[in-house]
Amino acid sequence: MHWADVAAQALAHKGDTHVVSTGITPSGEFHIGHLREILTGDMIARASRNAGLNVDFVFIIDSADPLRKVYEFLGPEYEQFVGNQLGAIPAPKEDGNPDWERFNNEGWTYANHFLEPFLKALEEIGVRPRLIDNLESYRSGRFNELSKIACDKADEIRETIERVSGRELPADWFPWSPLNSRGGLDKVRVTGYEYPLVHWEDEYGESGSSDLTKGEGKLPWRIDWPAKWGWVGVTCEAFGKDHGAAGGSYSTGREIVQILGHEPPHPLVYEWISLKGKGAMSSSSGNTIGPIEALELVPPQILRLLIAKSKPNKAIDFDTGMGLVTLADEFERLSSRNFEQELAQDDLSRRQKVQIEDAAGAMRMAAVVSGQDIQATAVTFRHLALLAQTKKNDADVWASLQASGAITETTSQLQDRLDRMRHWIQSSHFPEEMRINILEQPNAKMLNELNEVERRILKELVESLSACEWSSDEIGASIPQSAKNLDESPRSAFKVAYAALMGVERGPRLAPILAEMDKEEILSLLKACVQLLE
């Protein structure tokens, strides 16, 4: 069974109706790492519905969380908002400073600014959860009842946090963080409590009272999370390994939620997604690639496959270069398989059967629309990358594919992939080992480094390629033959060909590249190289 089906099976044992929840703090640009959480939840919800369960999939926007610091992408004016709630402060402009005009006229907040592009990416990738804004939930009274219980049972909750987490809370700790005189959640001390008011003093010399029923503050994270489970009715939640660690917020939360009168949800802990060679992605540090940016490179099904094919407890090293090419080609191979036919074989070992079921489940979850079959295109991303670089016009790409028998007609799916491929090639993410740079003029420096034997091979190369049929196989045979004709090593011919055609010592396979280019243009370039050396 696919891991999402296993989770759905566990939920089925607990009832027919469930709420699957995910949540993110919109503190900065959303990245591929965030997609792991929400796609994990989406896939559990999808698998549960496929199993006949009634499932509500929610995405909680933690806009009541404070701005922790002035991040690198923010201007100095944000210093005044450190500690203030993300849903209550202005969004940044291009210079990083607050956009007061849009905030005052449209109510456009910091949280809105970072959330909007993420929601657009979710729409494209087929994720449509019910959105819950946490700050609005506090202000509208959704937390009232549970906030009162938390404040009434402050000592019991304190004991739970200290015992489970193994850390001692400050003497003035209280299970409600009131807003101070400047609208922030820090630099404030609770001085008393009489429901619905929590009395406070702040470091600015001001004092006042926070009304729980009006959301003039919030519950600290270790209480806020289980309180959300309670009033939302969460029965399953996916969360990162930091929250799932021993003594972490899930450990305390599953006890606190019972103090609040509810049951803890079924947990599913996931590992991080890292950018290859750069470590874990972080919005605050800028070590990210956003979902919109990634979707400009590859279709949404491939990003879904990235999450679907890896068990949640397995770390993912995301590579926007060759790793993404490999993933895309894996997607094409999987989409061409007939899993039902494979599973019908009588001689399958248990291991083989599990591998086939996992692959089939991953492809079900990779579909943007649940239940929609994914059609194979018979065009690998490597070959499409080659064509997109050697053919300036889309029509020439389709003509080449039709001539080779790879396709019979152009589809919207193929056009979409070609459009994304062209964008990928123009970006910094495209792998250099796949980048094709056929020269327009001879590279004198590289040619002058050729010895006398290699210069003779160059002349022979012109003759060999002039006489050959212009196909990948014939070109592939003609290049080494130009050296063999002179009783020299075939490797010398490839060195000469790369120097003359690309101005480099080595590169991608030449034959399939040249076969897609105009023969006369290539011969003209080679002849110019010969003339330059005469």
pLDDT, tens digit, for every residue of 78-89? 999 999 999 999
Burial class of residue 479 (count of CB atoms within 10 Å of its CB; 0-12, 13-18, 19+): buried
Q: Is the peptide bond before 196 cis (omega within 30 degrees of 0)?
A: yes
pTM metric for this prediction = 0.90
pLDDT, one tens digit per residue, over 321-353 is 888 889 999 999 999 999 999 999 989 999 999
Average of pLDDT values for 22-51? 93
Tokens of 65: 């969380």
Nearest to 48 by CA among 87, 2, 96: 2
Nearest to 270 by CA among 292, 291, 240: 240
Average of pLDDT values for 382-410? 93
Q: In this structure, are residues 522 and 465 in contact, taking their beta carbons and an 8 Å threshold?
A: yes
Question: Could you tell me how many helices (H) and strands (E) the chain has, helices first?
Answer: 24, 13
Average of pLDDT values for 43-61? 98
Query: What is the model's pLDDT at position 506?
Result: 85
Could you give the CA distance from residue 397 to residue 126 in angstroms, rounded to a whole number? 29
Average of pLDDT values for 137-141? 98
The residue type of 5 is D
Q: Kind of pairing, strands 130-133 and 177-178? A: unpaired
Could you give the CA distance from residue 143 to residue 228 in angstroms, rounded to a whole number? 8
The per-residue pLDDT of the chain, averaged, comes to: 93
pLDDT(431) > 80: yes
Average of pLDDT values for 439-457? 94
Lowest-pLDDT range of 7-16, 155-164, 185-194, 290-299: 290-299
In sequence order, the β-bridge partners of residue 131 are 59
Average of pLDDT values for 25-31? 90
Rg of the chain's alpha carbons, rounded to an integer? 30
Q: How many CA atoms lie within 13 A of 450 on its CB side?
A: 29
User: In which band, very low, low, confident or very high, does the pLDDT at 531 lie, cut at 50, 70 and 90?
Assistant: very high
Q: Measuring CA to CA, how many Å separate 457 from each of 165, 449, 467, 484, 505?
A: 73, 14, 15, 9, 15
Count of CB atoms situated within 10 Å of the CB of 330: 17
User: In which band, very low, low, confident or very high, does the pLDDT at 429 lie, cut at 50, 70 and 90?
Assistant: confident
Count of CB atoms situated within 10 Å of the CB of 488: 18
Within 220-265, strands assigned E span 236-240
Q: Measuring CA to CA, how many Å separate 493 from each of 40, 443, 455, 457?
A: 51, 17, 10, 6
Count of CB atoms situated within 10 Å of the CB of 30: 25
Share of the chain above pLDDT 90, in %: 85
pLDDT, one tens digit per residue, over 191-244 is 999 999 999 999 999 999 999 999 999 999 999 999 999 999 999 999 999 999
Query: What is the model's pLDDT at position 280?
Result: 59
pLDDT(279) > 70: no
pLDDT(311) > 80: yes
Return the higher-pLDDT residue of 325 and 254: 254
Lowest-pLDDT range of 14-23, 229-238, 290-299, 352-361: 290-299
Could you give the CA distance from residue 324 to residue 303 in angstroms, rounded to a whole number? 9
Share of the chain above pLDDT 70, in %: 98
Query: What is the model's pLDDT at position 321?
Result: 85
User: In which band, very low, low, confident or very high, does the pLDDT at 378 lie, cut at 50, 70 and 90?
Assistant: confident
Average of pLDDT values for 469-496? 94
Could you give the CA distance from residue 470 to residue 520 in angstroms, rounded to a whole number? 10
